[in-house]
Structure 1
Amino acid sequence: MILDACGMATGMGFVAVARVTEGRWLTCASRDQVNFGLTPGDELDVTSTICSEVRACRNSITIPDVDDSEVYRNHPTPRQYGFKSYISVPIIRSDDSIWGTLCAIDPDPQEIGPQAEQLFTIFSRSIARELDRQDELAKGRQKIAEGRASLQTERDTARLREEFIAIVGHDLRNPIAAVTSGLRMIEKRELSPERQAMLVFEMQRALTRASQIITNLMDFARGRLGAGIEVNAPAPVDLAPVFRDVIGEIEQVAGQPVLPSIDLPRALVADPQRLGQLLSNLLGNAVAHGAPNQPITVDIAERDGELVASVTNQGMPIPPEVQASLFQPFSRNESKQKSLQGLGLGLYIASQIALAHGGRIDVSSSAKTGTTFTLRMPAKPA
């Protein structure tokens, strides 16, 4: 899952977790789509790698294009291994020791933006935490009495990790496969203009799905590492255009019509990007689980000192026992169509964004009125 996510975020063809010491560079896990030729257990001369420099300086090294880099343009490593783009992030254990790197290369230049660098950093910390956990577990086996208390927790963690990896693998591969298949069909140039337009529409939906999966995955990983949901709200902002843009984006990929009503007469103190993400997650959930022939209604207004935003879709009601777990990570109703959030993280992330703004999200669902998710948060004008 980590290698797939990193490869997708950067476009890199070879991604690896490497054990890097003063004298060795060892492949622990790899994803090779460019025939670089390294599999788990294979080694490189550590002195021939840039990972050795990462280990020495204890900082990430990112090279979108070797030819544009004054430092690495004439470096022997890119020439030796035939790559044009590179990223490597150190895996630093809790005792401050360097264990290795999470790294990637590609024979072509690739754009490596801040979001991709952040994704590598989050995963490198996650790997370090897992290594620490394994060490702690090994020591714990020597203390049977203490180990009994933590055994169930470890089992639950292992089960959750397996489910998480399985879900990510399924939900990221599906949109990638859809785009790949569509491009192959378009390349044949035997399709009518109408069929091409339909394929482009389906590929846009797939890319939207993948983008939301990655965004929610990064937010979830950041929260598990203790950072929580970050909110940037230094001053009042007009939220109406933000919400209209989100609704417009979802309308492009939704099969149902979206009927919005927005009444926000003044600017409010809030994080526009995060609230846009919250609305996008609620709308994505409504698109996936709502009746395909019934409209989705969006009602956003300031009422009694609160910002109230509700999203309503028609369709089968959500049973009360399912409602109780909707805002938990990996909550998925498998009897329904998979949501745009895929991982079952969309509603969880939305609830955390509401909480960070001092608000909450409520849900009501019945066969008569449909399913409504409602955000309520303080409306602060200054």
Structure 2
Amino acid sequence: MPELTDPDLLRSIAEISRIQAVPRILETVAHITGSRFTAIARVTETTWTACATHDTLGFGLVPGGQLVLETTICDEIRQSATAVVFAHASQHPIYSTHHTPRIYGLESYASIPIFRPDGRFFGTLCAIDSAPASFDEVHILRSMELLAELVGTYLDTEDRLAQAQTDLSQAHRVADLRDQFIAVLGHDLRSPLQSIAVAAEALEMDATSERQQRLLGHIASGVVRMEGLIEDVLDFARGRLGGGIPILLTRTDTLGTALQAVVAEVIASRGRADIDVVMQIEGEVVCDPNRLAQLLANLLTNAAQHGDPSTAIALRACATADGLTMTVSNGGHIPENRLADIFSPFSREKGELPRPGLGLGIYIASEIARSHDGTLSVDSTPQTGTCFTFQMPVLAAP
């Protein structure tokens, strides 16, 4: 038998092979008809191809096997969209002289057209035997029509699944390209920004008027802000493309000092002097202190921006032999429907008023926590406010 190479037929065989119920369907057809050969065939204008078979007759056809279309009754079924069922060919008024039973030595035969739900003809569900059968033709017709309809439904499900997988794969490719673009853009923006910063510093040395000093101050603050945005973009890209934000673990006994400096910076930049701080960090901690400082800065900035200004922000940090825990609480409340997405990038509610930043702060904080084998969680109710909790275990020394 020549090897089948037609891609459309190979695709049809693959579709049928993926339907787990097909073997049971063919066994059921064999049982109710008493036939020793049952098959699902793909029938086109030019070919008859077996897609799945159940053979105890020794007919010899396997998936991919083909019959000459003109020698089969299935070509007539394709053209008329009508089933053919007979139990005793040699006594049948029509099929006693038909060429198909004579060519293949058939006495009992049942073949039902298979249609996809959109009406396209696929092929046939067949049952044949060289011996006469004693089945009730009407009963067999109704039973096999139901099974053929089931196969058609399965084919539609396979089509939808294949399309969904294609769409998902395309979405992943687009997402990867987008993340790579963001990473390249963030990296390439650094050079011109550095040039702007250097030029602003040079001009500041020669500035004489108050207006020049003020404008250069705006440029300098804009550069600092853009540097922060670019770092956020790069951290986002690292988290998406590199399996997490990279950290440099060190054994440090100055983590408390670094965190206190972050508190001072947020007070100065956000005008929130009501940050209540309790720290109990003594001895050495194995961590990336710069990244943990960034995590805390993001949490405190988020609390200052989104919290109730009439309620103080509370920071609690404690390092023990079991690990490090930090909590940042404020008087704000995050609605229940937003909590599930709070750690997703760009997680801002539609219609929310514009705010500084890209909406990446909490996402980056959660990635820093993950890079430390830790967790960042949130709890928020109207009564107690919002509390972000960072916990990390004792890490091995670098």
Q: TM-score, normalised by structure 2?
A: 0.46
- Structure having greater relative contact order (Cα 8 Å, sep ≥ 6): 1
TM-score, normalisation: structure 1: 0.48
The structure with more radius of gyration: 2
